Structure 1
Amino acid sequence: MELPVSSDVIHLAAFRPRAPPPVVNGKATQGGGLNESDYYQCLRDGGIVAPPGSDAPTGYETLDSPPHYDFYANTEVWGRRRRFRPSLYQLYANHEVTARLMIVISSSIRCMLNIWGVILFLRLPWITAQAGIGLTWAIILLSSFITGITGLSTSAIATNGKVKGGGTYFLISRSLGPELGGSIGLIFAFANAVAVAMHTVGFAETVVELMHENGAVMVDRMNDIRIIGVITVTCLLGISMAGMAWESKAQILFFLVIMVSFASYIVGTILPPSPQKQAKGFFSYKADIFAANFVPGWRGPEGTFFGMFSIFFPSATGILAGANISGDLRNPTVAIPRGTLMAIFWTTISYLIISATIGTVQHDHSSSSSDEDCLGLACRHGWDFSECIKNDTCAYGIINYYQSMSLVSAFAPLISAGIFGATLSSALACLVSAPKVFQCLCKDKLYPLIGVFGKGYGKNDEPLRGYMLTYVIAVCFVLIAELNTIAPIISNFFLCSYSLINFSCFHASVTNSPGWRPSFRFYSQWLSLLGAVCCVVIMFLLTWWAALIAFGVVFFLLGYTLYKKPAVNWGSSVQAGSYSLALNQCVGLNHVEDHVKNYRPQCLVLTGPPASRPALVDLVNCFTKRLSLMMCGNVAAASPASTQEASGERHVTWLNRRKVGAFYRGVVAAELRSGVNMLLQGAGLGRIKPNVLLMGFKTDWLSDAPQAAHAYIGILHDAFDLQYGVCVLRTREGLDASRPTQSHASVSTDPDPQPSSVFQEKQGKKTIDVYWLSDDGGLTLLLPYLLTRRRRWGRCKVRVFVGGEAEKKEEQKEELLELIKKFRLGFHDVEVLPDIFQRPQPANVHQFEDMVSRFRLDTNPKQDSDCGPPGQREGPWMISEEDVERNKAKSLRQIRLNEVLQDYSREAALIIITMPVGRRGVCPSTLFLAWLDALSRDLRPPVLLVRGNQENVLTFYCQ
């Protein structure tokens, strides 16, 4: 069934389909309707009104619609969406009351209820007596400064997109990524669970005081608090598990009770005190009491500024109550900023007023005895508290009596009710927040063993298992039964959370990501950074060991997430920051001149699809990983499917799965050589561009068309023209690079099981034999040095072989050792080979001649006129007698070198040898390729032929 459009008489959200429509993520799918909450939202808002421009006549502003052609037609009019009349059910059915929180109370009320907690009624007078009114205001304002900045940062993050369930965890994880988001999610959920215990202990403490005043004792004070606390948490658990509707109704009741208790307190400060209240230190507003209580009066182990701050700060930490249940808010992007900032403002005002008034109307020390013969401040009011002050036995006064606000109140039971309302509402809010945050974390599957708590129940996806876990944690801390001990514990966890929130806002802003577009504009990235720094500093000033534990947990979870690399992509600011940093660094490299000491082999590897040549990929990765650039190049043949084949998503996936730090670049070209030329000229970015070309050896060059061999050698010449170094890898199993364009489409991204692991295994105590036969600038020596820095090759011994004369063998060896020592490569095994200049064995020479015979130009072409087309007989790859004679010495040298390699390096892990260079126009391409084949054939170890660009890559100078 298709939905009506906005031009219809009936509002879009007013329809309810006859059958449950298909809904995906809360949005109507094709052929479906809107979800039920949107339908009833229109009813609640009274939004069933014809929009401007509608053709509906005035008066049709109900669910009923006027007659229309579309209601009876079986077809649709092109270009206009079809209208539908409402169903009978939509006309008479009564809508259900949804459990969305914003239907009942606002985010501001929820935040204020969570902020106004046990500290307000039971510890704020005591803190005022300890720190004095002046420093108490400083503590309140410092707390509000931190929470205010955090509120601004939260508002910015919350309005940068749709906020779902998970609250603080959702905000941080989607902003900073799973690495920090996951760790702070666990910490914040735990802090909320402990906060349940803190508020519950405050409630139980008040109940026990009332019991003791009436002579009722169950066991003793501590155990009475534990018993009542456990019972209270159990009752709150039942309310929470009943659903959001019941929890919201309870919050409204608590809010009204707190408002009445505030009124009772303010009225009580104005009323004249009775003699009984005066005996306990309450004298109404007195300037001398204000002056006495304005200065600090530290007492006890907590008697320091930051000691008082650590106890007070949890009373300012409810600012995220709205964000923690963001999934239950009707419009989180509006409710969270307004509600949070309004809550911070009004609660700060209330704290300032109460601290000032309680410090103006009541002495810090007092007792219930009176004596007319007295001296001092109390004498002016007709009471003597000197003796109890001297003996430290005063039972009353704001520094001794936690229930001072009840004493001041016009009707003490209302303050007790306010304490009950504040403590229970805050405990209930934390009990609801912790499981929802933890549930969202579990659903993201960032950590093992916690997924069981991500399961939800009912239409609102209630985290019942999370409620039970929170209940267990809360009960464990309730058993401590000491409010002043529990409060500092959670202060560090909340400060850690706030520092991460502020850093998230700063980081998202400073990365200049186009995706950072919060609709809330009243924030500053530098103010957010200041808030993050202040939170961290205060954490260590409060309790340094607790701060170390908190950050230890964060970094442990951060390390775990970085190691596991969860498969999530949230578009975090860390990703945006990585891009900005990389871009800025690349641009900055344009101002850096090349220097031989900073040379790095940046490799363009002709792998085709990387999975087709895993050995080549693994070897290059061994000396480029975390050191220099590695780019896998693929040339796809021009065909209808070539663009898709050259695309790199599946190839990058394979590289990542194999843990290879490389880029992928694919091009479409008519020929292999032209495609490689594109890669040689266009690969890279600024200074980060390849300077070494690596490719596999063409093992089938004898059986393939000679044009392919000519193109293969042409690639090497093109690389030399562009000042590239060149490396060619040949393995015994074969690393065929002959038909990359034709084979791409059929190559699987799964690794080849045979040659794929040759360079992934540890090489043990074998040797890397380096034949430095020609000086190419040092690349032949640099590559084995880089290999030995890897764990797989670390135990291998590097042997360096050079050609020389038998008479000067020792002298040449010492010269080479001295040169290698100056290069600081750590190679100590050098061998001079005078026998490389001997003539090769005749059998090997004959084998070489047979190999190139098919490419030899016949001196009598008439006798062989039918051997092939003229182009093939006369191509630039053909070898003339003049070419053979002119390059005879080099040909014999390659044959002899192969014999030397067979003798000296049969058991080596890798052979690295200087590649011969065939002069263009002098050495035909097939003869050049025959040299490479003769040099590296029939060898058990892999052979890497290396030729630098004849520029120094090693130096022994300091500058």
Structure 2
Amino acid sequence: MNKEKLMEKRFGTFSGVFLPTFLTIIGVIFYLRFGWVVGNAGVMGALGIVVLAHVITVSTALSMASITTNMEVEGGGAYFLISRSLGLEIGGSIGIPLYLSQVISVSLYILGFIESVKLIFPDVNTTILSVVITIIIGIVSAIGADLAVKMQYGIFALIIMSLGTILVSGDYSQVPVALGSYADSGNFWMTFAVFFPAVTGILAGVSMSGDLRDPRRNIPTGTFYAIGVTFLIYTLAIFWFAFNIPMEELINDKLVLISRTRFPIFIIGGVWAATLSSALGSMISAPRTMQALARDSVLPKFLGRGSGKSDEPRIATLLSFAVAFVFIIMVNLDFVAPVITMFFLNTYGAINMVAALEILVGNPSFRPTFKTHWIISLVGALGSYSVMFLINSTATVICLAFTLMIYLYISKKNISRAWGDLRDGILVSIIRMCLLKLRFNEKQEKNWKPDILVFSGTPESRGNLVYLAEHFSKGRGIITLVRFIFGQIENKKKEVAEARENLNTFLRERKLNAFSEVVVGEDMGETLTETVQVSGIGLLKPNTVLMGMTKKAHKIKPMMEFMRKISYLNKNLLVFSSSNSSAAFGRKESIDIWWGGLRNNGNLMLNMAHLMTLNDDWKGAKIRILSITCEGERVEERKTILEEMLEKQRIDAEVVVIPVEGSIEETIGRISHNSDLVLMGLGLPEKGHEEDYYGKLIKLSEGLKSVLFVKGKVS
């Protein structure tokens, strides 16, 4: 068990989740911008903005609750939830922008604090003040989360006092304006864009996941309470502003709460407490996200080191402090701020998408104790991405492009992971749906491609069979390598495991897009036949069997019997024979087809030859159609018929008609002894004459480099 799992869990629902979430939501927007929102939108417009924003945050919270109650949650917050569901690549591509948005948010909150100080004390040196505040927050967060949480109790008390001051102030003499004119903001969506960052604080609690006593209970409970309480506060604030302050004053005076309340000192304290607590919360959250990314090898490992009994991410904290300091001093945040909001929304969208997909895929392992409907999660996902574009389309494009670049970078790193993820379940569900959709369809000739079952044995020793399968398939068909082990299945467990690993290693090393299977049976003939019958599913059943000629006497009869039985299974059969396995295909310049008629395997032989020439190493290879005439047949007439057939088949080949001289075997050997691949039709061995037929095949292939006997399925 790693150090992260052994670390002391210090915080519960209130201190670890509710408090940081509440303090981040009741922040700088509430004190310095919410009056402006009400002034522009009016009561109904402001209510619409608050409700719409909370539709997204509530659906995200519900999705988050569903995910967290289905797994053992460790450090890393939202990154951990996404990476363990959608995989390391997607988790990292969202986790890195999330970390950046958290650490740059420190700069935003501190600058919000500086703005409020500047409005009250115009002569203050904001540069010195920002440096001092940043250093103090950096020191507090570096000491540890314990001190930060203790400070947040005091900040929470100040905010409660400021809210009480607002409630008891005002004369409630104004007539509320139901619908605003958006005189300063321009329209509803621009006003919404100003307000929405206020509710992006719902990840503040989940970011403390590694420090919580019971994350599966603390995260959903604390987040829901924080959202509910802050929603009530914002709703009441709308009516307070509308009944107490004229719309023009709300729009023009950012410090209206200070000037229009009875105890302005508490409002000032609330403003400062809210901005600094949000900065502190982000400075605590960001290093923990970085620590989790580093421990998964997405970022350099040293950044994941923890200090002390509580595993504090002090290295990550120091680096986060440096990044925040640079942004405060050097960067124009007018452009960066909307991008940060996009990163948060991108994370919200991903969390909702994870929950929706988990429910829709229906993996039996997804058993959350808190259940939600997939429609709610889908609404949250669509809402998150829609709001991104409505707020700032340019910033959205930058955010998504940045996310894609990180995804491609992590994918190239090929980081190994010890957990499964949702992607396999999604793919299986898609495959299942497609197969069921097509389950009653027959594969049409127009869509035919060779789906090949290769009796490969130990594939290193039968590389020519794999080579042929690759070239016939050319990345379009499905290849399955099968190794047979004969004997009692209960005695073959170790041998099967070794054979399976050998096949998988072969596929990985060759980078071959194929499947593999190990089949155990006691009788060779029956095992071969049963394997062909049960392989595949639906339209993905193999339509072609590729095997080699055996050189072992005891296998000749069962192999010939299998060749006879396969004619009843509606499969094509390809049997390969080579005189020199190490140089089986020569220069790959010529292919001969010994013609026995279009219906008599000819069509399949033409297809196989054509597929071979589509590969780079056989490109330009010359195909010859070779036909033997009997006595009395007209050579030119036979040649014309074959050429017309080739024109209809749209295959470029040379027709050669050969008068018979001596035996057929002698004629074939004389004409094709230099050809790189020879295709011949395959008949069926008569029962009781299997060895005789095997001898005939051996005789036909004598003197030839490589022979492929072809038996098309019976129509």
Give TM-score scaled by structure 1 length: 0.68
Q: Does 1:834 align with 2:663?
A: no
What pairs up with 1:394-473 in 2 under 5 angstroms? 397-445=249-297, 447=298, 450-473=300-323
Q: Does 1:629 align with 2:474?
A: no
Alpha carbons 2:287, 2:320 under 8 Å: kept? yes
What does residue 803 of structure 1 align with? 627
Q: Helix, strand or coil: the match of 1:296?
A: coil
Deviation at 1:156, TM superposition (A): 0.6
Pair 1:358–1:26, CA change in 2 (3 A): closer
Q: Residue 720 of structure 1 aligns to which amino acid in structure 2?
A: S
Q: Residue 329 of structure 1 aligns to which amino acid in structure 2?
A: L
Structure 2: any 5+ residue segments left out of the alignment?
Answer: none
Q: Does 1:900 align with 2:665?
A: no
- In 2, distance between residues paired with 1:672 and 1:610? 19
What does residue 235 of structure 1 align with? 136
What does residue 120 of structure 1 align with? 30
The partner residue of 2:367 within 511, 517, 521 is 517
- In 2, distance between residues paired with 1:305 and 1:334? 37
Deviation at 1:777, TM superposition (A): 5.6
What does residue 207 of structure 2 align with? 324
Deviation at 1:26, TM superposition (A): 8.7
Q: Helix, strand or coil: the match of 1:677?
A: helix
Pair 1:612–1:309, CA change in 2 (3 A): farther
Structure 1: any 5+ residue segments left out of the alignment?
Answer: 1-22, 28-34, 38-97, 219-223, 271-283, 366-396, 735-753, 840-891, 952-959
Q: Residue 478 of structure 2 aligns to which amino acid in structure 1?
A: L
Q: Residue 920 of structure 1 aligns to which amino acid in structure 2?
A: E
Q: Does 1:245 align with 2:122?
A: no
- In 2, distance between residues paired with 1:731 and 1:566? 42
What does residue 779 of structure 1 align with? 604
Deviation at 1:943, TM superposition (A): 4.2
Deviation at 1:558, TM superposition (A): 4.1
The partner residue of 1:315 within 172, 193, 198 is 198
- In 2, distance between residues paired with 1:638 and 1:497? 55
What pairs up with 1:256-295 in 2 under 5 angstroms? 256-267=157-168, 269-270=169-170, 284-288=171-175, 290-291=176-177, 294-295=179-180
What does residue 164 of structure 1 align with? 74
Deviation at 1:612, TM superposition (A): 4.4
Q: Residue 265 of structure 1 aligns to which amino acid in structure 2?
A: I
The partner residue of 1:551 within 395, 400, 403 is 400
Q: Helix, strand or coil: the match of 1:708?
A: helix
Deviation at 1:814, TM superposition (A): 5.5
What does residue 719 of structure 1 align with? 566
Pair 1:481–1:444, CA change in 2 (3 A): closer
Q: Helix, strand or coil: the match of 1:175?
A: helix
Alpha carbons 1:634, 1:646 under 8 Å: kept? no
What does residue 279 of structure 1 align with? none
Alpha carbons 2:162, 2:270 under 8 Å: kept? yes
What does residue 355 of structure 1 align with? 238
Deviation at 1:654, TM superposition (A): 3.9
Moved more, 242-251 or 564-573: 564-573
Deviation at 1:727, TM superposition (A): 1.3
Moved more, 645-654 or 501-510: 645-654
Alpha carbons 1:201, 1:481 under 8 Å: kept? no
Deviation at 1:441, TM superposition (A): 2.4
Q: Does 1:929 align with 2:700?
A: no
Q: Percent identity?
A: 29
Q: Helix, strand or coil: the match of 1:949?
A: coil
Q: Does 1:296 align with 2:181?
A: yes
- In 1, distance between residues paired with 2:618 and 2:343? 44
Pair 1:403–1:628, CA change in 2 (3 A): same
What pairs up with 1:733-752 in 2 under 5 angstroms? 733-734=580-581
- In 1, distance between residues paired with 2:588 and 2:2? 60
- In 2, distance between residues paired with 1:468 and 1:820? 75
What does residue 708 of structure 2 align with? 944
Q: Residue 239 of structure 2 aligns to which amino acid in structure 1?
A: A
- In 1, distance between residues paired with 2:225 and 2:93? 29
Alpha carbons 1:625, 1:661 under 8 Å: kept? no
Pair 1:902–1:147, CA change in 2 (3 A): same
Alpha carbons 2:564, 2:684 under 8 Å: kept? no
Query: Could you list the per-position Cα deviations for residues 146-191 of structure 1 after superposition, in whole angstroms to 9, with x for gaps in the alignment?
Result: 1011111111111112111111111112222234222222222222
- In 1, distance between residues paired with 2:293 and 2:4? 21
Alpha carbons 1:310, 1:487 under 8 Å: kept? no
What pairs up with 1:491-570 in 2 under 5 angstroms? 491-521=341-371, 523-559=372-408, 566-568=415-417, 570=419
Query: Could you list the per-position Cα deviations for residues 719-768 of structure 1 after superposition, in whole angstroms to 9, with x for gaps in the alignment?
Result: 2343321112345653xxxxxxxxxxxxxxxxxxx78xx99xxx9x9535
Deviation at 1:697, TM superposition (A): 3.0
What does residue 683 of structure 1 align with? 535
What pairs up with 1:592-671 in 2 under 5 angstroms? 592-624=441-473, 626-638=475-487, 641-647=491-497, 649-650=500-501, 651-671=503-523
What does residue 583 of structure 1 align with? 432
Q: Give the helix-richer structure, 1 or 2.
A: 2
- In 2, distance between residues paired with 1:935 and 1:168? 68
Q: Helix, strand or coil: the match of 2:481?
A: strand
Query: Could you list the per-position Cα deviations for residues 435-483 of structure 1 after superposition, in whole angstroms to 9, with x for gaps in the alignment?
Result: 22232223223x4x64443333333333333323433432343247777
Q: Does 1:769 align with 2:656?
A: no
Q: Helix, strand or coil: the match of 1:502?
A: helix
Alpha carbons 1:604, 1:632 under 8 Å: kept? yes
Q: Residue 783 of structure 1 aligns to which amino acid in structure 2?
A: M
Query: Could you list the per-position Cα deviations for residues 95-137 of structure 1 after superposition, in whole angstroms to 9, with x for gaps in the alignment?
Result: xxx5612298142122111222221111112222233333222
What does residue 843 of structure 1 align with? none
- In 2, distance between residues paired with 1:420 and 1:489? 25
Q: Helix, strand or coil: the match of 1:946?
A: strand
Deviation at 1:249, TM superposition (A): 1.3
Pair 1:489–1:896, CA change in 2 (3 A): same
- In 2, distance between residues paired with 1:818 and 1:569? 61
Alpha carbons 1:197, 1:475 under 8 Å: kept? yes
What does residue 6 of structure 1 align with? none
- In 2, distance between residues paired with 1:237 and 1:809? 95
CA RMSD of aligned residues (A): 3.1
Q: Helix, strand or coil: the match of 1:769?
A: strand
What does residue 59 of structure 2 align with? 149
Pair 1:459–1:689, CA change in 2 (3 A): same
The partner residue of 2:686 within 916, 920, 937 is 920
Q: Helix, strand or coil: the match of 1:182?
A: helix
Q: Which of structures 1 and 2 has the larger relative contact order (alpha carbons within 8 angstroms, sep 6+)?
A: 2
Which of structures 1 and 2 has the bigger CA Rg?
1
Q: Residue 718 of structure 1 aligns to which amino acid in structure 2?
A: K
Deviation at 1:804, TM superposition (A): 5.5
Query: Could you list the per-position Cα deviations for residues 564-588 of structure 1 after superposition, in whole angstroms to 9, with x for gaps in the alignment?
Result: 6543353323222222232333333
Moved more, 640-649 or 105-114: 640-649
- In 1, distance between residues paired with 2:640 and 2:238? 86
Q: Residue 202 of structure 1 aligns to which amino acid in structure 2?
A: G
- In 2, distance between residues paired with 1:249 and 1:546? 36
- In 2, distance between residues paired with 1:199 and 1:817? 81
Pair 1:487–1:554, CA change in 2 (3 A): closer
Deviation at 1:821, TM superposition (A): 4.1
Pair 1:261–1:481, CA change in 2 (3 A): farther
- In 2, distance between residues paired with 1:666 and 1:649? 6
Pair 1:310–1:784, CA change in 2 (3 A): farther
Q: Residue 900 of structure 1 aligns to which amino acid in structure 2?
A: I
What does residue 59 of structure 1 align with? none
Pair 1:244–1:731, CA change in 2 (3 A): farther
Aligned residues: 707
